[in-house]
Amino acid sequence: MKRIIALSLCVLVICANNAVAMDRKTLTIASEGASPPWNAIAADGQLAGFDVDVGRDLCRRMNVECTFVPQDWDGIIPALTVGKFDAIMSGMAITEKRKKSIAFSTPYAGGFNQLVIRKDLNLPTTDTSAKLDLTSIDAEKRALIDQLQAALTGKTLGVLRSSNSEAVLNELFGKVATIRSYDSQDNMHLDLVAERIDGGLADYFTWKTFLDSNDGGIAMLYGPELSGGLWGPGVGVGLRQDDHELIAAFDSAIEAATRDGTLKRLSERWFDIDVSPHVSNQKPVP
């Protein structure tokens, strides 16, 4: 009898928890819409990209109806905190600095940043397949950074404003190069093509979309794949710190999407490689 009562109580607790999780039937998710293939504005004016496809899948698993809205990067965290929308899915890295203002789900993707420069600069050749984790810097990493600083001394480098890449670029090259911050990747690309800047730092996959375009032929990847440090453990859903049920719901949905291979399938669709959690990032074979 005691066991039956205990099991009944457990069922009641589980049902109650599910009821709390299902109380919310609709969600509004914001994305910048300017960093393909993570997110972009499609020809029909709607948001599209990896973030959006993942978001739709997670919403289906949470049994909620989701609306995706564009939001400029500079104001995306403040807008979340004041309740303009419920979540951010915009290729946003999970970092300690951001965690002071908002909470994050577990990662739904990984990634890395890389420098790009104009080909006409004829800078010294680098190994663009090398990997540089900035979480800790030893003598070998310091020597590689010194080489990059020497090559980029006097150059003008672009970066997305209010991003972790901006902080990293200033930390690594702020003393030797001029750093110019942009409100969007597209505007940085325009200045690179117009030779108003010499190069820039951004997410590798965002660069790949540009480099594969007609305009992108004037530039090339430069230096190693950069990760760790200020970029944190990966990309997560940004949420309000007191929205505990929603955080738990996203975590559960991401775990399920990882386990059944959905995140792997979607990342291979948008990036040509697997950037799902707990998977090493490898560039696609040319």
Residue-wise pLDDT for 258-267, tens only, equals 999 999 999 9
Asked if domains 2-110+234-271 and 113-231 share a fold, the reply is yes
Residue in the block written with tokens 């990847």? 221
Which CATH entry fits the domain spanning 113-231: 3.40.50.300, 3.40.190.10, 1.10.287.130, 3.90.1150.10? 3.40.190.10
**Which pLDDT score is estimated for 278?**
67
Which tokens go with 1? 């009898």
Instruction: Judge if pTM exceeds 0.85.
Output: no
| From 94-98, 171-175, 243-247, the region with the lowest mean pLDDT | 94-98
Average pLDDT, the chain: 89
**Which pLDDT score is estimated for 1?**
40
Given pLDDT bands bounded at 50, 70 and 90, which one contains residue 111? confident
Given pLDDT bands bounded at 50, 70 and 90, which one contains residue 232? confident
Which tokens go with 178? 């001029």
**Which pLDDT score is estimated for 31?**
98
Percent of the chain surpassing pLDDT 90: 79
Complete DSSP assignment for the chain: -HHHHHHHHHHHHHHHHHHHHHS--EEEEEE-SEETTTEEE-TTS-EESHHHHHHHHHHHHHT-EEEEEE--GGGHHHHHHTTS-SEE-SS-B--TTGGGT-EE-S-SB---EEEEEEGGG-PPP--TT-EEETTS--HHHHHHHHHHHHHHTT-EEEEETTSHHHHHHHHHHTTTSEEEEES-HHHHHHHHHTTSSSEEEEEHHHHHHHHTSSGGGGEEEEEEEEESGGGTT-B--EE-TT-HHHHHHHHHHHHHHHHTTHHHHHHHHHHSS--STT----PPP-
Asked whether residue 283 carries a pLDDT value surpassing 80, the answer given is no
Q: How many CB atoms lie within 10 A of CB 63?
A: 13
Q: Considering only residues 5 and 33, tell me which one the structure prediction assigns the higher pLDDT.
A: 33
What distance in Å separates the CA atoms of residue 106 and residue 125, rounded to the nearest whole number?
37
Q: Within 13 A of 182's CA, how many CA atoms are on the CB side?
A: 23
* 27-32: average pLDDT: 98
Q: Considering only residues 4 and 187, tell me which one the structure prediction assigns the higher pLDDT.
A: 187
* 225-247: average pLDDT: 94
* 133-157: average pLDDT: 96
Strand partners, 181: 159
Q: Does domain 2-110+234-271 have CATH number 3.30.565.10?
A: no
What distance in Å separates the CA atoms of residue 3 and residue 11, rounded to the nearest whole number?
12
Domain locations along the chain: 2-110+234-271, 113-231
